[in-house]
Amino acid sequence: MSPLLRQWAQSWEQARNLWSRFVQLSPPHFCETEEEERREGLAGSFAMIRLTDHAVVISLRLVQQQGLQEFALPILAHEIGHHVYAPGDLVDQARILARIRRALPGLERYAPMVANLYTDLLINDRLHREFKLDMAAVYRKLEEGRKNDSSVLWLLYLRGYELLWNLPRGTLCKSPKEESFQADAGLLTRVIRVYARDWVRGSARFAVLLRPYLEQLPADSVPSWLDALQAGSSELPPAGLAEEEEDEGDAGLHPVEDPRIAGTPFRPPEGASKADSRRPRNPRDYTELMASLGVRLSPEELVARYYREHSSPYLIPFPVREHKRSSDPLPEGLDLWDPGSPLAELDWVESLVRSPVVIPGVTTVERSYGHTEGQRPEKLPLDLYLGIDCSGSMPNPGITFSFPVLAGAVILRSGLRVGAKVQVTLSGEPGRWTSTPGFIRDEATALRVLTGYLGTGYAFGILRLKDTFLDLPPPKRPVHILLITDSDLFAMCRSVEGGWALMGQVLKVAGGGGTVALNAAPNSYTKEVAQLQAMGWKIDYVPTLPDLLSFARHFSSMKYGIKK
């Protein structure tokens, strides 16, 4: 063990005890070679934190290169501060990023850096004032080693420390004497002090104050100590961010317009943004927010997560049908086992007989059973065929909030929860369509298909129903067909040869009934509706798209395909 490593390792406990004896953090990962840094993902700074696994990573190589050997305690205490104070966890990191992004329209790319500078200021001010650590000495050392000229943003940041800690001007940097610069530095210190406890809210004020400095930031200007840029790098987005919080609406307010900072009451100018109540975050904002947090998922996967989160509060008791319970199960054959099914149902022997290379969902099978009729009733869920009109008239769920997709997600997840299998088909025809590979239990795959977008054609293509129910062997369990569409469905029934008859045939084969959630004014298209009703279809008018959510809630109270 090198003397430097020993010295820094020994300072860890002291640094942790500064915050609290009860802080539980694993010791830092000290990297002594570039190879180790690469393995830890450390680049561009001598230290970094990861909120996903609560790690602190220090490059002792760069510490030595920058002459920071003697600052083990302040640097380690600072890194711990990111874990126990600001941002503390992934959700709060995302919350401040959401506010900062909103405060910096057009400059969102700087949000992670601004969040890093802001939390650094909060932590360092506390370390300096409460724990009496000489944080200024670290920055003096960093400034000594700087090769390029400092940006005005960096000067403002350092001048902020001078004011916060009552250091003579010029201690950390040669800041411009312009009155507006000095005024902004004064406001910066007010933001840090006023919002030291409510720091999530203060992040937007900080970002607005920095905006003019970011606009003139040279492309190659990078602060020396950026340790939380990749703090949220993971494959799991934090929950709770699909909705905006109440105060996000006033994120564009300048600190002088904030009574807590200005110290005087202020009436915002007309037209200025006001605080809104909680409302869905725009899906595109959500995916961009997750990307800036470092979540390594594709935009499509993020959109699926977004609707999954929105649907959670609305999950419903899914319709079931009562059967006479079997007294003795009879093995009948093999069905495809997909990764959404319980692992206990996987028939390993038969799967390996089929293929020595196991590919979940492809070569894996489960045994299906028939039953002799018994006396006690058993409740079985209906499988669900969810067909969604994804033509040009429907909104892209990845860009604007889509009620059809939300309603679909609620019903689909409710079904999966009670053991149903689902098939999701998006169709915008004539044009394109996409579907899950048959009836599946894999929620992620089903949601990914549901939240996709086609934007072609004018209606749901009813031939997709034929593909599933008439061209393939009839389903083993009763299936309920749910179509979310508008009145263009009727035009499609007319344009397809034998279209109306097809609608009746598929309903019979499905065996679990069918519902059309029709986006149309109540009691309109009476002739066409009557025709479908005569076949056994249930028609629910949803005059506006938000009504689809109410429809989803009432879905559970309906009885499907039960013969009277």
Partner 1 sequence: MSLEAPLLEQLMHRITECPPEFHFRLYAGPSGHFQTVDPAADVVVPEAILADLILELGGRPLAEEEIAPLRCRKDEDVPKLQIMLLAAWLLHDPWFRAAKRFGTPAYVTLLELGRDLPAHTNAEQIREDPERREEFVRLCLRGLGLVPQGESEEHAEDRLRSVSAVERARIVKETRERLQKARELAEAMRRKEAEEAAARAYRE
Specify the residue, 165 or 525, whose C-beta has the smaller distance to partner 1.
165
* N-to-C CA span, the chain: 81
Shortest CB 183 distance to partner 1, Å: 4
What tokens does 457 get?
Answer: 């054609």
Shortest CB 262 distance to partner 1, Å: 5
Shortest CB 249 distance to partner 1, Å: 18
Shortest CB 272 distance to partner 1, Å: 9
With beta carbons less than 8 A apart as the criterion, state whether 58 and 7 touch: no
Specify the residue, 181 or 314, whose C-beta has the smaller distance to partner 1.
181
Specify the residue, 162 or 486, whose C-beta has the smaller distance to partner 1.
162
Specify the residue, 265 or 522, whose C-beta has the smaller distance to partner 1.
265
Residue partners of 406: CB distance under 8 A and separation at least 6: 307, 310, 311, 314, 548, 549, 552
Specify the residue, 267 or 376, whose C-beta has the smaller distance to partner 1.
267
Spatial separation of the C-alpha atoms in residues 521 and 544, rounded to whole Å: 8
Of the candidates 351, 338, 552, 347, the residue with the CA atom closest to the CA atom of residue 444: 338
Shortest CB 162 distance to partner 1, Å: 9
Shortest CB 268 distance to partner 1, Å: 11
Shortest CB 84 distance to partner 1, Å: 24
Specify the residue, 271 or 356, whose C-beta has the smaller distance to partner 1.
271
If one counts every other C-beta atom within 10 angstroms of the C-beta of residue 446, the result is 27
Spatial separation of the C-alpha atoms in residues 339 and 331, rounded to whole Å: 22
Which parts of this chain interact with partner 1 (CB under 8 A)?
Answer: 163, 166, 168-169, 180, 182-183, 185-187, 189-190, 193, 254, 256-257, 262-264, 266, 269
Residue partners of 238: CB distance under 8 A and separation at least 6: 89, 90, 91, 94, 232, 293
User: Which of the 8 DSSP states describes residue 68?
Assistant: -
Shortest CB 188 distance to partner 1, Å: 11
| φ/ψ of residue 344, rounded to 5 | -65, -20
Specify the residue, 187 or 532, whose C-beta has the smaller distance to partner 1.
187
Specify the residue, 187 or 482, whose C-beta has the smaller distance to partner 1.
187
Burial label, 331 (beta-carbon count in 10 A; 0-12, 13-18, 19+): exposed
What tokens does 206 get?
Answer: 């900080």
Spatial separation of the C-alpha atoms in residues 384 and 508, rounded to whole Å: 15
